[in-house]
Amino acid sequence: MPKGQTPVTPQDGRTTNQRRHQPVVVLNHGQGKGKSTAAFGLALRGWSQGWSIGVFQFVKSAKWRIGEQQALEALGELHAATGQGGPVEWHKMGSGWSWSRTRGSEEDHAADALEGWREVQRRLAAETHRLYVLDEFTYPITWGWVDGEEVAATLAARPGTQHVVITGRDPHPALLEVADISTEMTKVKHPFDRGQRGQRGIEW
């Protein structure tokens, strides 16, 4: 097979260029490391394309991804100041979503997660961003807070050219189905196993 040739040429009446610029759903799952890290690496690429990046962190955590947030928000500020790259928005569930009026008012994580997903739905409908990172979004689906079938249906029907990256373990089958690029990260070796804890800069 010549280099750059795909194994199958689809008979869908579209040109290679049309097929090349398809919106994709990327799913990074598995028990290993690198699921979120790879998602934020993808955000780096998108930024330098001038894309609008929206990050949505769906799980409250003592280890927020402070490093990635600082770096991506710095890139967002650079865009605002110089026009380089694209804009970046970073929203997290912890103390209430940034757009919510009821910030930190209660501890109903299920309602918070659903509220986050509803906002993502609104943004997808409005084509607000070019790339969405839904970080650890598999968990609220696994816990029954957000409906996996509904998520898959929304993603499948989203308008325009909006890319969506979802991270987390044990994805709902409907997510695996709707994903265009799905990678399973498998832990081969990790220092946690031999008694070393996580460290700043490497783990978060």
Residues 16-55 that bind a copy of itself (CB under 8 A): 16, 19-22, 24, 26-28, 30, 32-34, 36-42, 44-49, 51
Residues 158-187, interacting with a copy of itself (CB under 8 A): 163, 176, 179-187
Tell me if 135 sits within 8 A of 116, measured CB to CB.
no
> Which of 26, 141 has the CB closer to a copy of itself?
26
Cα–Cα nearest to 45, from 143, 140, 163: 163
Q: Please state the closest distance from residue 27 (CB atom) to a copy of itself, in A.
A: 8
Query: Is there binding between residue 74 and a copy of itself (CB under 8 A)?
Result: yes
Do you know the residue count of the chain? 204
Residues 90-129, interacting with a copy of itself (CB under 8 A): none
Cα–Cα nearest to 111, from 146, 137, 79, 66: 146
Query: Is there binding between residue 80 and a copy of itself (CB under 8 A)?
Result: no
Residues 130-159, interacting with a copy of itself (CB under 8 A): 131
Burial 44-77 (b: 16+ CB within 10 A, else e): eebbeeebbbbbbbbbeeeeebeebbeebeebbe
